[in-house]
């Protein structure tokens, strides 16, 4: 992200009155890709072998296309609970 786009993002968030919460640069407990996405994706791909990058991309698209909409709803809702737990633990890892 360039400094200009970061400033525009900050202005946009302020315009809507959203509170910006501080957080570590990378926290596996709070990054939806880590706690929600990668585990199920790893289980799905486990044991598979792909001859080409296109084969892998095709399988990934198929997996994403067939996810139930609730998969994402549950993930976003669990993010709220993880934030609360992280706050209660004063920033310590949620999964400890």
* Tokens (6 digits) for 83: 């934030």
For the chain, domain boundaries: 25-96
Determine the Cα–Cα distance for residues 6 and 50; give it in Å rounded to an integer: 38
How big is the chain by its Cα radius of gyration, in Å?
17
Could you report the per-residue pLDDT of 17-45, keeping only the tens digit for each? 887 766 555 565 566 667 678 889 999 99
Determine the Cα–Cα distance for residues 1 and 38; give it in Å rounded to an integer: 24
Confidence class for position 85, pLDDT limits 50, 70, 90: confident
pTM: 0.55
Q: What is the pLDDT of residue 64?
A: 93
């Amino acid at each position: 992200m360039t400094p200009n786009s970061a400033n525009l993002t900050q202005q946009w968030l302020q315009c809507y009155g959203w509170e910006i919460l501080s957080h570590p640069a990378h926290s596996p407990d709070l990054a939806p890709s880590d706690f929600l996405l990668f585990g199920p994706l790893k289980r799905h791909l486990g044991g598979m072998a792909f001859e080409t990058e296109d084969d892998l991309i095709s399988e990934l698209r198929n997996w994403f296309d067939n996810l139930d909409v609730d998969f994402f709803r549950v993930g976003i809702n669990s993010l709220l609970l993880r934030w609360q737990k992280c706050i209660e633990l004063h920033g310590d890892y949620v999964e400890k």
